[in-house]
Chain A
Amino acid sequence: MSGFPILSVMLAVPAVAAIACLFAGDKGARWIALAATFVDLALGILLWSDFQMGAGAPQWQFVEHVPLFDMGTAQFAWALGIDGYALMLIVLSVFLMPICIGASWEAIQKRVPEYMSAFLLTEVLMIGTFAAQDLFLFYIFFEGGLIPMFLIIGIWGGQNRIYASYKFFLYTLLGSLLMLVAMIAMVLMTGTTSIPALMAYDFPPQMQTWLWLAFFASFAVKMPMWPVHTWLPDAHVQAPTAGSVILAGVLLKLGGYGFLRFSLPMFPEASAQLMWLVFALSCVAVVYTSLVALVQSDMKKLIAYSSVAHMAIVTMGLFAFNPQGIEGAMMVMLGHGLVSGALFLCVGVIYDRLHTREISRYGGLAINMPRYAVLFLLFTMASVGLPGTSNFVGEFLGLAGVYRVSTITALIGTTGIILGAAYMLYLFRRVVWGDLTRDDVKAMPDLSLREIALLVPIAAAVLWMGVYPESFLAPMRADTARLVARLERAAPAGDSKPTPGHPAAAPAHGEAHGAAPAHGGAH
C-alpha cells in the first residue's frame, strides 16, 4: 500500500462526487452520493485493516507530503497522515456517511443535488480535518467543515433555521479567529506548520497559557462546553435528520480531537495549569444540561442537551492526564457518535411519520412499532451507559481516569449516570410506552426495510464496542502511551494519594480473632 495515496483518494472520491451531484437529477444525485460514501467506507475499512499496531509501528501512517509553497522558513504543504485517534474518527465518519445519505433518501425532496453535494463536501472536510498534518491545512478543513453544515441547516432546516444557523455562526466565528491568531503566533515562533513537529515542540509555559486559551475558545464552542453550548440545541432542532446525525456524530468530535491533537501535546504545562477550568466547566455541564434535558418537551432538544452532558465526560477524561481518561474520552466520542446519531435517526423515523418532535404527541409506539421500540430501547440503554454497550466502556474508563486526579470531579461526573437514566427513560416512557390513544399515532407503520438497514448496523457497532472494545482501543494504544509520556512532566498528582498499609501479620484466617467478639471494637 506504500505508494497509494489512500487519504487523498478518500478526499477526492466525495469531492468529485459532490461536483457530479450538481449536474445530476434528484435520483442520480442520491445514487452518486450513496455510491461515493460506500466507496469511502470501503477505503476506511481498508485503512483500518492496514493500520499497523504494536511495537515498531510508526506513529504517523499513510503519510503524504506535497510542498505547496514556501512561507519564509515555514512551508505550507499538502500534508496528510493519521495516527490511531485520527483513524478511529475517520472510520466513524465514513461509517455514518452512507447512513446519513440513506436517512435523507425520502425525507429530502427539494434541491436534492445541492443537498447531496453539501453532504459529500462535509465528508471531505471531516476526513481532511482528521488527516491534516499541516496547521493551515487543518484550519481550512476544520473551519470549512462548518460551511456545508450552515447550508444544510439554513436551506433544508426547520422553521427557525435562520436563527439557528446565525447562532451557530456567531459562536464559531469568535473561537476560530482566536485560534487562527494562535496558529500564526505558533508558526512565527517555531518556523514550521507541521503538526507532528509542533506536537514535539516545547513552548515556553507563559506562552502556552495564551495559546491554550486561544485554542480553548475554538474547541470549547465545538465540543460544546458549558456555557457556550446554546447553539447546539437550536442547530439540532432545526437541522434535518441527517444533519443532526452528522452534527452529533462527527462535528461534535472536532473539539475533542482538537484538545487531543493540539492542547494536550503542544501545551502540557498550560493544560495542567488550566485543568481546573476544564473540570469546573465539565462538572457544571453534566449537572446543568442533564437537568435541562429532563424538562424538554422537544425530542431533539432533549438529545442535544444530553450530548452536551456526554461531551463533558470527554473533556474531563481528556484532562485526566492518564491512559484511562484519554482512551475513555475517545471511546465516549466514538460511542456517542454512534448512539446520538442513532437516536436522532430514531427521532427522524417518527418525525417523518407525524411531522412533530413534540414528545407528548406520541405514546404507545411499542404496540404498533415493536421493531422500532426494540432498537430505540437499545440506543436508549446505550445512551445511559449500560455495560455491554459502547458508551459504558467510554464513560467507565473516562471517569476511572478522572477519579485518579480528582475524586470530586469524578463524583459529579458520575452523577451523570443517574440523571442520564432519568431523562432518557422518561423520554422512552413518553414515546414508546403507554397506550395508543391518538388515531394518527395508531396509524404509524413500523420500520421500513430502509430504516432497519440504517439502524441495525449502528446497533451492531454499539454492541461490538461494548463487548469487545479492544478492536477500537488497540489502534490508539501506542498514541495514548506517547501522549501520556509527553504529559508526564506536567501530570498532576491527584487528590487520592493512598499511603501504603501495614502488611498483614498472618496470612490465613484466624489472626486477630482470638476472642469471639471479633468485631466488638467497631460497634
Chain B
Amino acid sequence: MSPILAIVFLPLIAAIVGGFSNKSFGTAFPKIVTTGALLIACALSWPIFIGFLNGTSEATVVPVLHWLTSGTMSFAWELRVDALTAVMLVVVTSVSALVHIYSWGYMSEDPDQPRFFAYLSLFTFAMLMLVTANNLVQMFFGWEGVGLASYLLIGFWFRKPSAQAAAIKAFVVNRVGDLGFMLGIFGTFLVFGTVSIPEILAAAPNMAGSTIGFLGARFDTMTVLCLLLFVGAMGKSAQLGLHTWLPDAMEGPTPVSALIHAATMVTAGVFMVCRMSPMFEMSPVAMGVVTFVGAATCFFAATVGTTQTDIKRVIAYSTCSQLGYMFFAAGVGAYGAAMFHLFTHAFFKALLFLGAGSVIHAMHHEQDMRFYGGLRKHIPVTFWTMMAGTLAITGVGIPGIFGFDAIGFAGFHSKDAIIEASWAAGVPSAFWVGVFVALLTSFYSWRVVFLTFYGKPRWAGSEHIQHAVHDAHGHGHDSPDTHGHGSEHANAPAQEDSGHHAPSATHALHDHAPEGTAGYHPHESPIVMLIPLLVLTIGAIAAGFVFHGFFIEPEAGERFWKGSLFFNEHLMHAMHEVPMGVKLSATIAMLLGLGISWYTYVVKPGLATATAEHIRPLYTFLLNKWYFDELYNFLFVRPAFAIGRLLWKAGDENTIDRFGPNGLANVVRVGSIGAVKLQSGYLYTYAFIMLIGLTAALTWVIAG
C-alpha cells in the first residue's frame, strides 16, 4: 500500500472514530486517535519530501476509486504526489500534528474536545485531498472540505453570536470565490474537454491566441479561464475584496487560526495558482491581475495591521499581507519563490499564532495588546519563540553581498526572493510595494512584541484579568483558567473573547491602558504547548537557509520541481543578479520598521497615541479596516434581506397570488358560486374534471 493512502485517509478515519466515539470513553481516546493519526501521517510525509529533495522520487498518481463519468467528462478519486504536493504534504501534516499536540494543552478546559479534535483531523484530510488532487474537481472537493472544516472550527464556540456570524461569513464569502472556481472548471472542461490537471497543463501551451465567448463578449481564452480560477484563489486566500472573512475567522480557537487561517488552508489559493502555473503563463493579462491583486492585498493588509489592537487580528492581517506577497511572486512568474514563502510562512506564522495563543492563555483569554506589557520575564519560553517568529517574518538576515552567501531567518530568504524576483521580472511597481510593505511588516510585527513583552504591565484594565484575580480567591491562583470568565460564561469555559472590545476610534487611541498588574501572575504554558512552539522555532530559524536552494536556485530548483510547477530558470538567474541596492532594500526597510517600532513603543511610549491623534482621519480609516465590512454590509447584506422581503411580500403575495389563485377565487366568489362550496368541493371537482376530460378525449379519439 502506498504511504500516501495512509497519509490522506488516516486523518479521515481518526476524525470519524474520534468524533463519533462514545462519550463514556472520555476525552483522551479521541485525542489520542487523532493526534496519533497525524503523527503517523507526518512521519510518512517527510520521507516523500526528502525523496524529492535528493531527486530519487518521481511523480506518481495513486488511483483510489472512480468518481463519475458523464458524456465525455470523466474523473476519479486519485492521489497525485509530485514535488509540489510533497512540499504541501510536509507543511500540512507537520503543522497539523503540532497543532494537535498544542491543543492538548490549549483546549484542556473545554468540554467539547472530541468534537474539536475531530474537526481538526477532518480539516487535515480535506486539505490533503486538495493538495493531492489530480483533477480540478477533486481539488474543489478539498477546497470545499477545508471550507467546511473552517466553518465548523470558526463556529466551534457556537454559543457566541460573534463566532456564529464569523463562521457564516467565512463560508459565504468563500462561496463567492467558489463561484469563480466552478465557472473556471466549467470553462476549462469546455475548452480542453477534460478536468484532469496534467492533461490541461499539457494542452495549455497550445492555446495562445485562442478566443472564447463569455457573457456575450469575446476574450482571450486563457485569460478568461485563469481569471475565473483566480477568483476562487482570491476567496480562499483572502485577497483584497474577498478578504473580509479572515480577520473575523479569529473567533475560532487560536490553534485553529494557526493551522487553518495561517499555515495551510489560506495558502490553498497560492498552491492552486502554482499548480496551474503553465496555464497562467499563457495569459499575460491574468498574470498582471494576479500581481496587482497580490500587491494591493499585501499593502492593504499591512496598513490595517499597524493599527489593530487585538493580537490575533494583527497576525491575521499579517497573514493576509504575506499571502499577497506570495501572489505577486506568482504573478511575476516566480512560482518557486511563492511556494518558498508559503513553506517558510507556514512555520513562522503558525509559530506566531501558537505563541499568541500561549500569551492569551497566560493572560486569561485577554487578547487586547493594550492590556499586555512586560510579559518578557513572566513567560520567557513564549517570549523567545515569538521572538524567533518575529525575526523570521520581518526577514532578519545578512544579505548576500561582498561575496558571502546570504544567511538569515526563514522569512529573510523567502521574502527577499520575492522582492528580488519582482525587480528581476521588470515589475518595479510590485518591487516598491514589496519593499514598503517589508517596512510595515517589520513595524507591526515588532509592535506586537514590544506591546506584549516590553514596557510596564498594563493588565489592570483588562476585564479578563480582573475576573481571574477575582476567581483566584476561591481556588488558588495556580489555575487561573479553570473557571471561564465568571458567571455569565459559566457554560462556556475557556472561550476566547476577541471582538468584545469593538474598535472604536476613541477607545483605541489609548494605546496605553492604565499600568499595573492588578495582582495577577501570568504563567508560562504547559509543556505540551511549548514543545510545538520550540519545534516551529527550528522551522522559523532554519527553513530558509536549508531549503532555499531547492525552491529558488536555478539548477537545483529545476531538478527539485521536475515540472510540477512552471519554473522560470531565467528569472531565477536574473533574480540572483539584481543590483546590490535591490538586495539591500528589503533589509533596510526591515531595519527602518524595527527602528520606528522601537522608538514608538519602547523609547517613547506616548508617541503612538500622539501620532494617531495627529493623523486621526487616516488612523480611523485604518482602524476600521478601510471600511470594507461597512461597505459590503451596505452593498450586499442589507439589500439581500430587503430585496428578499420585497420579492416575498410584493412579488409572491401581492402580485402572483393576488392576480393568480386568489384573484381567481375572487372571480369565482363574485360569480356567487361561493368560495366555501368551491373549497369543500375542490377535490371532487378536480377528479370530475379529470375524468370528464379523459372520457371526452377517449371518445373523441375513438370517434375520430
Q: Cβ of A504 and Cβ of B206 under 8 Å apart? A: yes
Are B145 and A388 neighbours in the complex by a CB distance under 8 Å? Answer: yes
> A132-173: contact bitstring with B at CB < 8 Å (1 yes, 0 no)?
000010011001101100110010000000110111011111
Q: Output the least CB separation between A466 and chain B (Å).
A: 9
Are the CB atoms of B697 and A166 closer together than 8 Å? no
Q: Is the CB of B70 within 8 A of A523?
A: no
In the complex, which of the residues A147, A422, A429 contacts B164, with contact meaning CB atoms closer than 8 Å?
Answer: A429
Q: List 15 additional A-B contacts (Cβ < 8 Å) besides A230-B660, A408-B216, A501-B210.
A: A169-B683, A170-B664, A230-B657, A292-B652, A386-B145, A399-B186, A467-B67, A496-B187, A496-B213, A498-B211, A502-B208, A509-B568, A510-B569, A522-B287, A523-B429
| B contacts, CB < 8 Å to A | 65-73, 77, 137, 140-141, 144-145, 148, 151, 155, 158-159, 161, 164, 167-168, 171-172, 175-176, 178-179, 182-183, 185-187, 189-191, 205-216, 221-222, 284-285, 287-288, 291, 332-333, 424-427, 429-430, 491, 566-571, 573-574, 640-641, 643-645, 647-648, 651-652, 656-657, 660-661, 664-665, 678-680, 682-683, 685-687, 689-690, 693-694, 697-698, 700-704
Interface with B: A13-21, A179-187, A245-253, A343-351, which one?
A: A179-187
Contact with B along A283-307 (1 / 0, CB 8 A): 0000010011111100000000000
Distance between Cα atoms of A35 and B167 in the complex (Å): 44
**B690–A418 contact, CB under 8 A?**
no
Query: Do residues B214 and A496 form an inter-chain contact, with CB atoms below 8 A?
Result: yes
Distance, CA A393 to CA B161, complexed state (A): 33
Enumerate the 4 nearest inter-chain pairs by beta-carbon distance, A residue then B residue, closest first.
Answer: A517-B426, A323-B71, A522-B284, A516-B574
Contact across chains for A396 and B288 when beta carbons are under 8 A apart: no
CB pair A230–B652 under 8 Å, yes or no, is: yes
0/1 interface trace, chain A 191-219, chain B, CB 8 Å (1 if under) = 00000000000000000000000000000
A28 interface residue, CB < 8 Å from B? no
Q: Is there an interface contact between B73 and A324, defined as CB atoms closer than 8 Å?
A: yes
Task: Judge whether A492 is part of the interface by a CB distance below 8 angstroms.
Answer: no
Is the Cβ of A294 less than 8 Å from the Cβ of B168?
no
In the bound complex, do residue A503 and residue B210 qualify as a contact, i.e. CB atoms below 8 Å apart? no
Which residues between 385 and 420 of chain A lie within 8 Å of chain B, taking CB atoms? 386-388, 392-393, 396-397, 399-400, 403-404, 407-408, 410-411, 414-415, 417-419
Provide the bound-state CA to CA distance between A23 and B648, in Å: 45
**B651, A288: Cβ atoms under 8 Å?**
yes
Is A468 on the interface with B (CB-CB < 8 A)?
yes
B322 CB → nearest A CB, Å: 22
Q: Inside 8 A of B679's CB, which chain A residues have their CB?
A: 162-163, 166
Q: Are B656 and A230 in contact (CB under 8 A)?
A: yes
Q: Which residues of A contact B682 (CB under 8 A)?
A: 150, 165-166, 169
- CB-based nearest B residue for A430: B164
**Most A CB within 10 A of own CB, among B151, B178, B697:** B697
Most buried by A among B210, B644, B656: B644
A166 CB contact (under 8 Å) in B175, B333, B571, B678: B678
CB neighbours (8 Å) of B68 from chain A are 393, 397, 469-470, 473
- Closest Cβ neighbor of A370 among chain B residues: B115
Does A407 contact B213, Cβ atoms closer than 8 Å?
yes
Q: Once the chains are docked, how many angstroms separate the CA of A407 from the CA of B189?
A: 13
Structural contact, B182 and A480, CB atoms closer than 8 A: no
Q: Is the interface of B mostly helix, strand, loop or mixed?
A: helix
Query: Are A519 and B686 in contact (CB-based, < 8 A)?
Result: no
Complex Cα distance A513/B424, Å?
A: 12
A154 touches B571 (CB 8 A): no
In the complex, how many angstroms separate the beta carbon of B368 from the nearest chain A beta carbon? Answer: 24
Using an 8 Å CB-CB cutoff, how does the interface string of A474-502 with B read, 1 for contact, 0 for none? 00010010001000000000111111111
- Determine whether the beta carbon of B65 is less than 8 Å from that of A467: yes
> Which A54-86 residues sit within 8 Å CB-CB of chain B?
70-72, 74, 76
Complex interface: chain A residues within 8 A of B151 (CB): 425
User: Would you give the shortest CB distance from A381 to chain B, in whole angstroms?
Assistant: 6
Is the beta-carbon distance between A500 and B694 smaller than 8 angstroms? no
A-B contact pairs, 13 of them (CB 8 A): A150-B686, A230-B661, A366-B158, A367-B159, A414-B182, A417-B178, A421-B171, A421-B175, A473-B68, A480-B71, A504-B206, A513-B569, A516-B573
Contact (Cβ within 8 A) B71 A468: no
- CB neighbours (8 Å) of A172 from chain B are 686
CA distance A311 to B66 in the complex (A): 27
The smallest C-beta distance from A520 to any residue of chain B, in angstroms, reads 4
Q: Which residues of B contact A397 (CB under 8 A)?
A: 68, 70, 73
Q: In the bound complex, do residue A518 and residue B333 qualify as a contact, i.e. CB atoms below 8 Å apart?
A: yes
**Which A residues are closer than 8 A to B by beta carbons?**
70-72, 74, 76, 136, 139-140, 143-144, 146-147, 150-151, 154, 162-163, 165-167, 169-173, 176-177, 180, 183-184, 187-188, 227-228, 230-231, 233, 288, 291-296, 322-324, 327-328, 364, 366-367, 381, 386-388, 392-393, 396-397, 399-400, 403-404, 407-408, 410-411, 414-415, 417-419, 421-422, 425-426, 429, 432-435, 467-470, 473, 477, 480, 484, 494-504, 507, 509-510, 513-523
Question: Which residue of the partner chain A has the closest CB to B333?
Answer: A519
Shortest Cβ distance from residue B65 to the other chain A in the assembled complex, whole angstroms = 6
A407 to B647 alpha-carbon distance, docked (Å)? 26
Kindly state the separation between the CA atoms of A364 and B157 in the bound complex, as whole angstroms: 11
Does B164 contact A433, Cβ atoms closer than 8 Å? yes
Q: Among the listed A177, A411, A503, which residue makes an inter-chain contact with B206, where contact means beta carbons less than 8 Å apart?
A: A503
Name the CB-closest residue of B to A305.
B648
Residues of B contacting A501 in the complex (Cβ-Cβ under 8 angstroms): 206-210, 221-222
Task: Evaluate whether A387 and B71 lie within 8 angstroms (CB atoms) in the complex, with A169-B686, A501-B208 already known.
Answer: no
Q: What residues of A have a CB within 8 angstroms of the CB of B704 in the complex? A: 72, 188
Inter-chain CA distance A341–B603, complex, in Å, is 66
Per the bound structure, the CA–CA distance linking A162 and B661 in Å amounts to 13
- Kindly identify which residue among B158, B214, B287, B644 contacts A292, using a CB–CB cutoff of 8 Å: B644
* Cβ distance B268 to chain A, nearest Cβ, rounded Å: 14
Docked Cα-Cα span, A279 to B214, in Å, equals 16
Q: Which residue of A lies closest to B139 (CB)?
A: A387
Q: State which of A166, A291, A499, A519 has its C-beta within 8 Å of the C-beta of B425.
A: A519
Residue among A293, A495, A520 making CB contact with B216, cutoff 8 Å:
A495
Q: Which residues of A contact B333 (CB under 8 A)?
A: 518-519
Given contacts A387-B144, A484-B71, contact A136 B161 (CB under 8 A): no
- Name the CB-closest residue of B to A506: B205
Query: Whole-angstrom distance from the CB of A389 to the nearest CB of chain B?
Result: 10
Q: Quote the shortest CB–CB distance from B18 to chain A (angstroms).
A: 13
Q: Is A180 a contact of B694 with CB atoms below 8 Å?
A: yes
Which residues of B sit under 8 angstroms from A171, Cβ to Cβ?
660-661
Beta-carbon contact of B427 and A520 below 8 Å? yes
**A417 engages B175 (CB within 8 Å):** yes
CB distance A415 to B179 under 8 Å? yes
State whether A513 touches B206 (Cβ < 8 A). no
Decide: B221 and A498 in contact? CB cutoff 8 A.
Answer: yes
Contact B570 A518 (CB under 8 A): yes
Most chain B beta-carbon contacts within 10 A, residue among A233, A414, A498, A517: A498
Contact of B186 among A184, A410, A426 (CB under 8 A): A410
